[in-house]
Homo-oligomer: A and B are copies of this chain.
Amino acid sequence: MSDISYRLYYWPSIPGRGELVRLTLAEAGVDWIDVARLPKEQGGGSGAIVERMKRDDAGVVPPFAPPFVALVEDGVEQLLVAQTAVVLDLIARRHGLVPSDEATRASALQLQLTVADLIDEAHDSHHPIASGLYYEDQQSEAARRAADFVGTRLPKFLGYFERAIRARGGPFLLGAERCYADLSLFQVLGGLQYAYPRTMTRLLPTVPHLAALPARVAALPRIASYLASDRHVAFNQHGIFRHYPELDT
């Protein structure tokens, strides 16, 4: 049997989209190296991400942004893949985190991309003008966008995922068994709780199946063990999910 491991490239100090990959790697039970969290003298640090992104390897489609992942088989890099959903689909397929029939695999990816849309909108609720500017430089615009997010978009997304869980009988998105999209949804619900605690306290009782999901995911043995480890990166004020009380209305 071949020896498979992964090299994850993601910013070392924020959970961001990298945490979606970490959760999936943990549940897959595989080995991985979190490249940028290695010491610099071992080839780590943010510089390692930038360097790898700029490297032109003939035949390899370059990543546009982190996270991206290299698949290493028997010590040889076989594959470089970017875009979170593609990375997750690839790992999931190889390690039993999604059923192998094409229809269910498509459904999982559809759900994952809807989670990704919610992530994008959660981010833009505090950065509606430019990622490259500080929050303080777009605070009035953020107030307007967050009001729409909290009042319209977030309830729509939460209601959708409630309905999706019910469609296949629950308790997970695809039914009785967890898939990688459940892990991402778990992370997003945690992020929303961190960023918008008042709003979530108000909305969660309206989506009981969805509200029950995080405890189930956190109780998966490999996830529980991962969350208790120092590989896990906690939410903070530099990531996608940030707590600005003035936006949580």
Interface residues of A, Cβ cutoff 8 Å to B: 56-64, 78-79, 81-83, 85-86, 89-90, 93, 102-103, 106-107, 109-111, 113-114, 117, 120, 124, 128-130, 132-133, 138, 141, 144-145, 148, 152, 157, 160, 163-164, 166-168, 173-174
Contact of A164 among B62, B78, B103 (CB under 8 A): B62
Known: A90-B106, A106-B86, A130-B152. A61 touches B111 (CB 8 A): yes
Q: Is the CB of B106 within 8 A of A129?
A: no
> Which of chain B's residues have a CB closer than 8 A to the CB of A124?
124, 128
> Which of chain B's residues have a CB closer than 8 A to the CB of A61?
107, 110-111, 164, 167-168, 173-174
> Which of chain B's residues have a CB closer than 8 A to the CB of A58?
167
Q: How far is the CA of A144 from the CA of B133 in the complex (A)?
A: 11
Q: Is the CB of B64 within 8 A of A86?
A: no
> Which of chain B's residues have a CB closer than 8 A to the CB of A79?
103, 106
Q: How far is the CA of A110 from the CA of B61 in the complex (A)?
A: 9
Q: Is the CB of B129 within 8 A of A145?
A: yes
Q: How far is the CA of A62 from the CA of B110 in the complex (A)?
A: 10
Q: How far is the CA of A141 from the CA of B145 in the complex (A)?
A: 10
Q: CB-nearest residue of chain B relative to A138? A: B144
Contact of A81 among B110, B117, B152, B174 (CB under 8 A): B110
**Chain A to chain B contacts (Cβ below 8 Å), 29 pairs:** A56-B163, A59-B167, A61-B107, A61-B167, A61-B168, A62-B160, A63-B110, A64-B114, A78-B103, A79-B103, A81-B106, A83-B109, A83-B110, A83-B113, A83-B114, A85-B85, A85-B109, A86-B113, A89-B109, A90-B102, A113-B113, A124-B124, A128-B129, A129-B141, A129-B144, A130-B144, A130-B148, A130-B152, A138-B144
